[in-house]
Amino acid sequence: MEKELAGRLLAVVLFGALTALGFGFSIYLIINATNAYTYLLAFSYLVLSIVAGLFNTFTAYSYYRSYFYDIYINGITENLKPIMRLPTVAVAVATYNEDPDTVVRTISKLKDLDYPKDRIKFYMLDDSTDREKIQHVRNACRKLGYKYIHRINRVGFKAGALNNLMKSMKEEFIAVFDYDEYLTNAMFLKDLLPYFQDEKLAYIQTEKRYKKGTFFSDTVDLFDAFFFKFIQPSRALNNTAIFAGSCGLIRSANLRAVGGFPEYVIEDTFFSFESDIHGFKSLYIPKVYAYGEPISTFTELVKQQWRYNYGDTQFLGYFMKKSRNKNIAKRTSLLSNIDYMTHGFGLNYISVMLVLFTLVSIMIVFSQLPIAHLTVQNLFSAGYLTFDLEILGIGALLVSILAPIILTKTYFGSFSKGFMIFILNFSLAFIRAKAAFAAIFRKKYKIVWNRNNSIKSHRFIYAIRNSVTEIAFSAFLLILGGFAVGINNLYGGMWLLWYGVLYVSTLFMFYKYK
């Protein structure tokens, strides 16, 4: 326990240091500004640092607070009483043109759930359009005893399929699994149902993880692992645990009371919010009951991140609109509002803020601010670096690199995966930003980059097609960085060259992990 707490405190220190260094460098820029333009740049960097500081503070708070979740959930578990009557349960799996062998493997394993056969019913919600896949899954459902439901359109996406099921199902609870989640613990229902003795409890979300795979897929798994290990427990203490779309159990009456799943691309987040503002409770159980198929390619990751960012941006607007209703505003606390705001801003912050920081950095490097005076000679001057706040900018850059690496090593035992996570945030920056703007301008939900993943396509050509924006931006940064070094602005030049290398990593990712 002491080691766990020490790890949380380390996170607080790292995020605190990153915030302090960013503010310090902002103050340095303001102190040394000499005209309207440099003041504008300095204050722009300060605003970005304030936003970054708020997110860093919230993240540090979540890391620290999550340490106490085990005590909270153990207290609830110890007071549970045996349930006298086992309720009826619907097990639902939704699919859309997915690999039929994976689907069949998933639904076959779900039949192992330890629960009386007369109290459980299995449903396959198939929105597929591929005839061969439809027939394959339909035949498997007939053999396995699943009720097969096929829609001729995808109105409402996955939410629409689940809402369509809710119109006819009679079961008291609905357990939702993704098409690729392989059950590893048959006690899922018997473990979770006792918690629903609290009539206000609407849903329980369990921990979601991917199967072990390659170095790349295992690194992607850590994206979710950080969320479920630190952010989700902290949120659950505020009654804002996010229903993550699968590996969860929902009380049907509560789902109907909120009007079903809101029909957006990330219906789970919207449902979680609606459940909260309707006065229901939620719970998070930090235990893995099923493992999803690993995300083995960068293309798959891009599709996932596009959907998340598009949906989170939609949710942010949805949340802000609902929050203007005084009756709804009274039902949420300050902490829960912060949880929802940071969730909506989360990936947007990581992506858009990175790009904005980069653009402001370019203007700072070529301004008349003193940062442009760092040369090779004064770089090695102890007095220069000791007494000049400019070094805070270097410190902020270093800590931003080291934070994910140190935390990943501390909690998951890997330096290399921590560095990969750092790189991936830059690789995905423009892709996430494009998804956010697509949602803001109400473009139809679709991937707007080239999705030709044919084996016949040359890997390098495929990579170039899908990272044109990043390549152009990186080339721009590299040219500016080289020019800055050429005019004896060493620090500014290295700063831009480093950013240029980070953004061109999108090309590498598409090539290496097509």
Per-residue pLDDT of the chain (514 residues; tens, 9 = 90+): 577 778 788 888 888 888 888 888 888 888 888 888 888 888 998 998 888 888 888 888 888 899 899 999 999 999 898 888 999 999 999 999 999 999 999 999 999 999 999 999 999 999 999 999 999 999 999 999 999 999 988 888 899 999 999 999 999 999 999 999 999 999 999 999 999 999 999 999 999 999 999 999 999 999 889 999 999 999 999 999 999 999 999 999 999 999 999 998 888 899 999 999 999 999 999 999 999 999 999 999 999 999 888 999 999 889 988 888 877 777 778 888 888 888 877 766 677 778 888 888 888 888 866 554 555 555 555 444 434 555 666 777 778 888 888 888 888 889 999 999 999 989 999 999 888 888 888 776 555 444 445 545 688 899 998 999 999 999 999 999 998 888 877 777 888 899 999 999 999 999 999 8
pLDDT digits over 59-115, tens only?
888 888 998 999 999 999 998 988 889 999 999 999 999 999 999 999 999 999 999
CATH of the domain at 199: 3.90.550.10
Q: What is the pLDDT of residue 377?
A: 55
The full DSSP string for 118-184 is GGEEEEEEE----HHHHHHHHHHHHHHTPEEEE-SS-TTHHHHHHHHHHTT---SEEEEEETT-EE-
Cα dihedral: 52, 53, 59, 60 (round 10): 150
Could you give the maximum distance between any two Cα atoms of the chain, in Å? 81
Residues 46 and 133 occupy one common structural domain = no
Is 110 a domain residue? yes
Is 481 a domain residue? no
Residues 354 and 276 occupy one common structural domain = no
Is 482 a domain residue? no
Domain of 234, in residue numbers: 82-296
Is 453 a domain residue? no
Q: Strand, helix or coil at 244?
A: coil
Q: Where are the alpha helices (H) located in 33-66, listed in sequence order? A: 36-65
Residues 92 and 50 occupy one common structural domain = no
Is 409 a domain residue? yes
Burial class (CB in 10 A: 0-12, 13-18, 19+), 441: exposed
* Cα(10)–Cα(16) distance, integer angstroms: 10
Last residue of a domain, one of 447, 463, 494: 447
State the residue for tokens 């721009």: 476
* Cα(389)–Cα(386) distance, integer angstroms: 8
296: CB partners within 8 A, 6+ apart: 213, 214, 216, 217, 513
Q: What is the pLDDT of residue 436?
A: 87
CB atoms within 10 A of CB 231: 22
The full DSSP string for 75-105 is HHHHT----SSPPPEEEEEEESS--HHHHHH
CA–CA–CA angle 458, 462, 465 (5° rounding) = 140
- The pair of structure tokens assigned to 20 is 């302090």
Say if strands 120-126 and 147-150 run parallel, antiparallel, or are unpaired: parallel
- How many helices and strands in the chain, by DSSP H and E? 23, 8
How many Å separate Cα 179 from the centre of its chain?
Answer: 20
Residue type, 376: V
Residues 227 and 113 occupy one common structural domain = yes
Residues 381 and 269 occupy one common structural domain = no
- The pair of structure tokens assigned to 189 is 């229902």
Residues 187 and 222 occupy one common structural domain = yes
Contact between 439 and 237 (Cβ < 8 Å): no
Last residue of a domain, one of 447, 479, 500: 447
Residues 143 and 277 occupy one common structural domain = yes
Last residue of a domain, one of 417, 447, 477: 447
Is 507 a domain residue? no
CA atoms within 13 A on the CB side of 234: 22
Residues 23 and 104 occupy one common structural domain = no
Domain tally, the chain: 2
Burial class (CB in 10 A: 0-12, 13-18, 19+), 490: middle
Burial class (CB in 10 A: 0-12, 13-18, 19+), 410: middle
Is 506 a domain residue? no
Residues 40 and 87 occupy one common structural domain = no
State the residue for tokens 């192992």: 112
Is 484 a domain residue? no
Residues 136 and 285 occupy one common structural domain = yes
Give Cα separations from 119 to 171, 255, 318, 369 (angstroms): 8, 20, 37, 71
pTM (predicted TM-score):
0.88
pLDDT digits over 28-47, tens only?
888 888 888 888 888 998 99
Residues 46 and 95 occupy one common structural domain = no
Residues 54 and 109 occupy one common structural domain = no
Burial class (CB in 10 A: 0-12, 13-18, 19+), 148: middle
* Cα(195)–Cα(79) distance, integer angstroms: 10
